[in-house]
Structure 1
């Protein structure tokens, strides 16, 4: 018997620690002793009922986690007992273009998530993690890091000398900063906190903009470099117009977040007349995850973990993420 956090009604007050009997792995499956799980903004929406009100319940939340393989089922060859692996966000999307059936099966809703002490998963839906990373660091890779990688590399093709604009200092944005730096790009970071902007400079940011002090931060970013090549758009409704002001003709906006809302009037002429590409990013596939891990290993990249909460304090971790006080990732240690 092991424990997991689960909710059967929407609302953080309904997130409860329960006993579960995690099954032994069947053919093609692996059983993990989960070491750490990390939070994404999506997880807060899922628990609140604002992401998918029809999601099956009870549900164990959190898409991201890392663990040690403690048992394997018949026919499993990709991993072995003792390997340290992360669960993938879309366990059926191995490589290639997205297909509806592949990208609708996502971990942490509708599929059970990783906020548990043990998990039995398909062996096709796990990836070995870089050896130089601790458990808390490795747990941050499946969504935030891969989203940044898919935006900049798999879909964006960012090259040395180009300019990337990232919004804020949350998980995806900080990974985009770190990955942009190792790609040789100049990365501009926005935030409402001068303290966080100073931290971003320490990580290699080319320039920083306090968007509370500069409401026309998109124009400012454009003027710094003559237009940015790539924007990591995490805000959504209230920031997209500024991103369109920042991006250069022929540039790309990777739409990966909806922190400020999902609906807004869009000045289509700015997209049309400047031949801007607005690319939706739904994390990425397993092949991209494995490619990213090779880059993380080659450059000894270390994810930025803001705070680690004990397993028993999972609701507090949710509240901390919602406060917006974090710089980088918020993690829950499960063992």
Structure 2
């Protein structure tokens, strides 16, 4: 058996392409069922996050597997191969294993050392297991990667300090606006990213409004933690008119704020930070006077600062990963399994 990963991330492709290749959470099982129809794959895991899309697969034919994954991506997302192939990377065998370990530890993340990715890797594996598409080879691979990441975050300094999207987004906003205590902040969406933003907003004491429809009760619960308010989407324009800062982080596949949404509405400075993928805010809103729009990749200063603090620690972990991946690969592919009669005789 062998392992292959085909994917792309923030280092290899622009956000415009990544948002076209994203696998929405609601449709992930459907995508796995379709991939399962290819007999060449013994198992597969689809990892789709804000900054990466990767398909890990166990197979006995690496060369054909790569072509089939590319074909699947083209057909599923209805994109011509030539439009995304130059942005893909492929890792095979123990290099694929090494890559998985690095990803799960947060070494390949936009925010070096972040821990949210471990949970995303685990959830991706569980989705595959739930439909019976995680064979024993993938099971051992992912369990070892998750266990290793847990150990790394516990025993090293790679995850110390501010490592979440929420903390870095707030640092970026404060760097541009200074004190936030008098600012009106509108948070659109009530998922994990919004919760992370909230944790760092509490000590800033701004005026906060959460906007949500489908999970309005959760919006009210989050708002109560910071003495804020919650409104439904039909009051979005009214809330935007009063906002100094807008943070978006919904799972919507379409723009929820367009240029036409803001035209004639804004007569003051408005800072928008779009943390979603696909993006929630139409890029054309930047053409409106007084409006500044940034996505996660634009938070370069704070991201670089975090990287500089931890790059030496990351190098040490990378060396450990090489050794760990080599040893695990030997166990997975070289060593013969112990005969059954010896196990039963113990």
The alignment's TM-score, normalised by the length of structure 2, stands at: 0.45
The structure in which a higher percent of residues are strand is 1
The structure in which a higher percent of residues are helix is 2
The alignment's TM-score, normalised by the length of structure 1, stands at: 0.46
Q: Which has the higher contact order (CA 8 A, sep 6+)?
A: 1
